[in-house]
Homo-oligomer: A and B are copies of this chain.
């Protein structure tokens, strides 16, 4: 049985909502206990949900009264009965309490999901920015199409 709703699409909806609400429990509930994360920033990996929860706690806590709007584009996904994956580009925009955009950056994201009973959980996530081979700086904005 192929799932009716695409688990990748469902993930992006729930991820976007949890980040905007700074809802730690909703955010953490998307991930499996054994998750391995290759995140864009500063570390080679976060292993397990406790480590990933700590990252989210610091991220949401560091926002003050701002919020983060996540725009998801160019989603590609596929699903089988017990495993699914999705990839996309994310734009993270910090907005002030009045909704005014302050700054933004872009990432690439890959998620791999496995079925756990009725739910789907992310068992692996990989976010990154490409590296400019001249100067080795991260590219944090996509070129206009």
Q: Which A residues are within 8 Å of any B CB, using their own CB? A: 36, 38-45, 76, 78, 80-85, 87, 89, 108, 110, 112, 114, 123-124, 126, 128-133, 136-140, 142-143
Number of copies: 2
Taking a contact as CB atoms under 8 Å apart, the answer to whether A84 and B83 are in contact is: yes
Taking a contact as CB atoms under 8 Å apart, the answer to whether B39 and A130 are in contact is: yes
Taking a contact as CB atoms under 8 Å apart, the answer to whether A41 and B81 are in contact is: no
A114 — which chain B residues lie within 8 A by C-beta? 78, 80
A78 — which chain B residues lie within 8 A by C-beta? 83, 114, 123
> Which of B38, B84, B87 lies in contact with A128, CB distance below 8 A?
B38
Known: A85-B112, A112-B112, A136-B138. A130 touches B42 (CB 8 A): yes
A140 — which chain B residues lie within 8 A by C-beta? 136
Q: Can you show 8 pairs from A to B with CB atoms below 8 A apart?
A: A38-B128, A38-B130, A41-B130, A42-B133, A108-B126, A128-B129, A128-B131, A129-B131
Give A142's nearest chain B residue, CB to CB: B44
A136 — which chain B residues lie within 8 A by C-beta? 137-138, 140
